[in-house]
Amino acid sequence: MAVGLVCAIVAVVFLGALSRSTLGFGDAVVSMPLLALLPMPLSLAVALMGLVGVTIALVVVVTDWRHIDWQPLKPILLAVLCGVPLGLLVLRYTSQAMVTGILGWVLMAYGMFSLTRHFRSKGAAAVWVSGRGWPYLFGLVAGALGGAYNFNGIPVAVYGTLRQWPRERFRSTMQGYFLVSGSFVVAGQALNGMWNGELWILYAWSLPAMGGALVAGSYLRRKIPTGTFQPVVLSFIVLLGLLLVVKSIPALSV
pTM: 0.77
- Residue 77: predicted pLDDT: 93
For 170, other C-beta atoms within 10 Å of its C-beta total 18
Each residue's pLDDT tens digit in the chain (254 positions)?
799 999 999 999 999 898 888 776 678 878 888 898 899 998 899 899 999 989 988 887 887 777 777 888 899 999 999 999 988 888 888 887 887 788 788 888 888 887 887 665 555 555 566 778 888 999 998 998 888 888 888 888 888 877 777 766 777 788 888 888 889 889 988 988 899 999 999 999 999 999 999 899 888 877 776 666 667 777 877 887 888 788 777 655 55
- Residue 172: predicted pLDDT: 75
- Residue 5: predicted pLDDT: 94
Separation between Cα atoms, residue 1 and residue 3, nearest integer Å = 7
Torsional class of 178: left (φ above 0), alpha (ψ -120 to 50), beta (otherwise): alpha
DSSP 163-217: TT--HHHHHHHHHHHHHHHHHHHHHHHHHTT---HHHHHHHHHHHHHHHHHHHHH
CA distances, 200 to each of 26, 27, 66, 75, 205 (Å):
22, 19, 32, 32, 9
- Residue 33: predicted pLDDT: 82
- Residue 140: predicted pLDDT: 93
- Residue 10: predicted pLDDT: 96
Its domain, for residue 22, covers: 3-253
How many domains does one find in the chain? 1
